[in-house]
Amino acid sequence: MPSFLDTFQPFPAVAQAAPASPVLTALTTLDPVQRNIRNTIRTAREQVFHFTEWNYVSIDWLAWRFSQLCPYFGSVSAPRTRQRFTAAERQHLRQHYPRVVRQAMAYGHDTPEPLEASHPIVQLFENVNQIDWYQAFAYELMMWLELTGRCYIWMTNSAVPSRNGRGYIPAEMHIVPTTWIEPYAEKPGMPQTGWVITPEGDYTRREIVALEDVEFLRYKSPLSKWDGFSPLQGGSRWTENAESIEMSRQMQFRNGGNPDVLVELDGEVHSNPSREVIDRVKEMVMQRTSGLRRTGEPLISPPGMKYSKWSNTPREMDYETSATQARDAVLALRGTPKVLFGITEDVNRASIEGANIIAGQNLDPKAAYIAGFFHERILSRFGQGFCMWFDSAVPKDAAEKRAEQQFQFACGALSPDEIRIAAGMEPFESPASQSGYLPSGLMPLDPEAMPEPPPDEPGADTGEDPPEDPEDTEDTDPQEDA
C-alpha cells in the first residue's frame, strides 16, 4: 500500500505511458480553435466601449502608475561580484518574487546579480520598438489587461534561434490591440497554427503570423482555461449602474425642465393666458432678476402674481447618493481609492499616504504576475537563469526610513559615510567616517565574551611566567650568600 510520501513521487513509467484522459487534455490544451472561441474580437470591442467615466479614471491611473515602475533584470547563475540590494529591496523580492529568490539560492546567492546595461535583454526593454518606448509599452499593456483581461505581444524576431526551442530571440515587441487579433486555423476544427491580425477591422491589411511569434498574457478566468477575464466582467453590474446613472442624469439636464422660479398668475385675470402674455411676463421677470448688480434685490410683483422658489424633486436629489455608491464600487474593482483622484472630505497627508499605500499594495501583485509572464515566455528565449522584477509600488515612508537609520547608527551598523551616500552627498572617505560608532560605556552581558588584551600588553595572560627585569635583580656573589 503506498505511503503518504509516495504521493509526492513521480509517476512510474507504466503510468506515464497510459493514454491521456480527455478531461486532462481539456485542462491542458490552450488551443482557442478547439475550444470554439470565435467571439474574442466582438467581446473586446464591447469592453472597449466601457473605457469611459470612472472606469477610465481607474484604469488610466493603474496604467500610468505601472509604467512608472522600473523593471530590473538579473541572472541567478552569474557569479557574485557586488551587492546592490538594500534590506528593503531584499524584503520586496522575498515577498513578491519568491521564485526569483529560490532560483538564486539554488546557485548559492541570496539575490540575483543585476544584468549590465549592454545585455540584450536590457536593450530589448530599453528599445521596445520603433514607435513605443518602455513607458508607453507598459501603459498599453496594463490598459488592455484591465479592459479585456487579455494582452497580446507580437515579437518581430531576429535571426537567432531561441534557447528554449520556441521561435527566435525577439528583436522588438509590439502590443497588438485585443480588438485586432484572433486565433487562426487552416480549416475549421483544426488545431491553431497562427494568429490573424486585422488592423482596425480593415480586411485588406490582414496578416497571418506564426503561432510562436505572439505571446498571450491574460488574467485567469473561471469560465475558460484559455480566455482571459476582465475586471469589467467581474463588476459588470456596477459598471452598468454607474453608466446608467450618468446617462439618466445627462438626459434629465438635457430634456428635463430646470427652472429656478415659479411664477403663478391670477386665475381670474389670466384664466387662459395667451402666448404673448406668458412671454411678456417671462421677459419682465428676467429683466428684474438678471445681472450681477441685481443679486439679492427684492422682487416686487404686480397684483395677482406670485413668485415661489422651485426646489429639486427628491428623485433628482437622490442622484448624488446613487452616483457616489456606483463610483465607489467601480473604483473598488481595481483597488484605487477615490482619495487618489482628489475626492475626499478630509484633506490631510495621512489620508493621501494611506490611499497610495492601498493602491500600491494592490499593484505590486499584478506587477509580479506580469514579471512572471515575461520570465516564462520571453526571457526564457535568451537562455536559463534570467529573471525580472519591478520596483515596489508602495511609496517609501520617510519617517520610518529615518527611524531605521537612527537605530542602525546607534547599533554601530551604519557609518557616517553610508548615511551621506544615502542622502545623495559625497562621503568624507576618512577612517573615522567609514567606521561605526558605539557608546564607550557599553559592556557585553557575558563575561566570557570580554575581549582579551593583546599578549604584548602588561597583564596579558599568556600561560607563561613573565620574564624578570634585570634591573630589579640584585647582582650578588654566590660565595657571599654561602
Q: What is the pLDDT of residues 167-183, one digit of tens each?
A: 788 889 999 998 888 88
Identify which has the larger pLDDT, 466 or 55.
Answer: 55
Q: Is the pLDDT of residue 417 over 70?
A: yes
What gap in Å lies between CA 333 and CA 55, rounded to an integer? Answer: 9
CA distances from 172 to 39, 73, 103, 310 (A): 28, 17, 27, 64
Round the average pLDDT of the chain to a whole number and report it: 77
Nearest to 310 by CA among 259, 249, 256: 259
Q: Is the pLDDT of residue 68 over 80?
A: yes
Least confident residue range of 173-177, 264-268, 316-320, 419-423: 316-320
Q: Is the pLDDT of residue 275 over 50?
A: yes
Residues 6+ apart with CB under 8 A from 207: 196, 197
Sign of CA dihedral 61, 63, 64, 68: positive
**Residue ranges of domains in the chain:** 27-182+215-235, 260-289+298-309, 398-436
Q: Predicted confidence band at 145 (pLDDT cuts at 50, 70, 90)? A: very high
Least confident residue range of 40-49, 100-109, 180-189: 100-109
What gap in Å lies between CA 263 and CA 96, rounded to an integer? Answer: 67
Average pLDDT (99-112) is 77
Q: Is the pLDDT of residue 193 over 90?
A: no
The CA-based angle 428-433-438, given to 5 degrees, is 165
What gap in Å lies between CA 410 and CA 363, rounded to an integer? Answer: 35
Q: Is the pLDDT of residue 478 over 80?
A: no
pTM: 0.71
pLDDT of residue 369: 92
